[in-house]
Structure 1
Amino acid sequence: MDPELLWSAAERPRRGRPPAHSRAAITASAVAIADTEGLAAVTMRAVAALLGAGTMSLYSYVPNKETLLELMIDEVSGDHRLPAEPSGDWRRDLRQIAHGQRAIMRRHPWLPAALPTRQTLGPNTLAVLDYALAALAPTGLDAQARLETFSLLTGFVASHMSYELAQERAVEAAGRTPGELLDAQARYLRSTVASGDYPHLAQALAEPGGSQSPQAVFDRLLDRVINGIAPGA
């Protein structure tokens, strides 16, 4: 995939009749399909059907599904709502970015699985990256370390959201509430550690824990990641 061809070459006006479709409309249709039916349901045929177009007519705008996926990832990255400038509190700013990423992945649950296949960065993604680099400036980290930190943060959010969303699907498939499943897990672990075979686990379970809501768990893990980036900054 040629990133210059994908991102730098704007759609050129054609002679004769105006174009029947656009990359933006094709991308939006693909995102809509993925949101409701999952990433596997996104095919050029399905997108064409949603647009009321012939499948082959889309290939002059988007040459293949791989390119379409790149466009989809960057399209939803545009959902970020970041301030014009970082606040100067880099921990606060990174939390804001991570919370934005989590919200986007909840709206578009196919995104965590799509990110590892990404081959290039589009303009919306670059805007978030540039903001993150500015936000990290007060840490004193060099440019390479700041780039790696953004990658670390995004990787954490994507990995955690893959797990969180999978757990929600498992709960739904089981036909039980999250609270019922948590109670069942707690009963099982209490009976297991009573054997004395797992003393460290028994000690951990005996200590009071925080909220197990998805948001609370995410926030605790996020704090551990952020606090390890530049402890002295």
Structure 2
Amino acid sequence: MPHDEGARGVDPQQLWLHSGPPRRGRKPAYSREAITAAAVALADAEGIEAVTMRRVAAQVGAGVMSLYSYAPDKETLLHLMVDHVSGELPTTDPLTGDWRVDLKAVAHRQRALMLRHPWLPAALSTRRTPGPNALAFLEHVLAALRPTGLDGAAKLEVFAQLTAFAAAHVSHEITQAAAAQSTERAGTEARYLAAVASDGAHPELAEALSAPGRPLTPEATFARFLNRLVDGLATG
């Protein structure tokens, strides 16, 4: 099948650097930007599984076959979607010169973006070809890391680690938020842990559970974990 999603990989040069020869005749009725925006809106509302070429075509009022000249398969469309939402990340904000402060600000912006687009963490786990918006943000982050003295490869690793952390944490946040809707389940788990902590066989767990509580809001939890990650990064 010519448009099978998994039949071939995406050629990043063809996708991002070669827009193809100019079209002659009438102006196209649709644009790649409009089609990508429709796909993003669909994913935001119904999840990434809802994004099919047929559904996106219906969103923009086009025939499904006409979309293939803009995105030949869903894999290409996903690349376009990831870069489209990456355009929401600020790339011109002034840096403080304190790389830890700047890196934490980057992570908070990534978290906010992923919460707005809950399908993004899963998409980032398999999309490896950054487009122009993602590259602009990467350039901003690399500039923030300049004071660290790390070499180029290490800076790229830090960026990948930070992005993976934000994606994993947001995925966990979304799962926990769904589970928290069941107060019965939360109560059952609390009673279970209390019983285990009091049985004498788990003294380390009992001590940990008896420690003073900390703010458990998603924002506070993310900030604590992020502090540990960033503050522990080597600078040599």
**Superposition TM-score tier, normalisation by shorter sequence:** over 0.9
RMSD (Å) for aligned C-alpha atoms: 1.6
Deviations 1:116-151 (A, max 9, x none): 110301111111111111111111111111110000
TM-score after normalising by structure 2: 0.91
Q: Aligned pair 1:158/2:167, yes or no? A: yes
Quote the offset at 1:55 in angstroms.
0.2
TM-score after normalising by structure 1: 0.92
AA aligned opposite 1:102: R
**Equivalence for 1:110:** 119
AA aligned opposite 2:221: V
**Equivalence for 1:194:** 198
- Whether the 8 Å CA contact 2:91–2:136 is kept in 1: the answer is no
**Equivalence for 1:211:** 215
AA aligned opposite 1:66: E
Question: Which of residues 221, 226, 231 in structure 1 aligns to 2:230?
Answer: 226
**Equivalence for 2:131:** 122
AA aligned opposite 1:16: G
- Whether the 8 Å CA contact 1:98–1:153 is kept in 2: the answer is yes
Alignment of 1:45-194 (within 5 A): 45-172=54-181, 174=182, 176=183, 182=186, 184-194=188-198
CA distance in 2, matches of 1:82, 1:211: 31
CA distance in 1, matches of 2:178, 2:21: 43
Q: Specify the SS of the correspondent of 2:125.
A: helix
AA aligned opposite 1:167: Q
Q: Aligned pair 1:28/2:32, yes or no? A: no
Q: Aligned pair 1:41/2:50, yes or no? A: yes
CA distance in 2, matches of 1:12, 1:111: 31
CA distance in 2, matches of 1:218, 1:181: 23
Structure 1 residues without counterparts, runs of 5 or longer: none
CA distance in 2, matches of 1:22, 1:207: 57
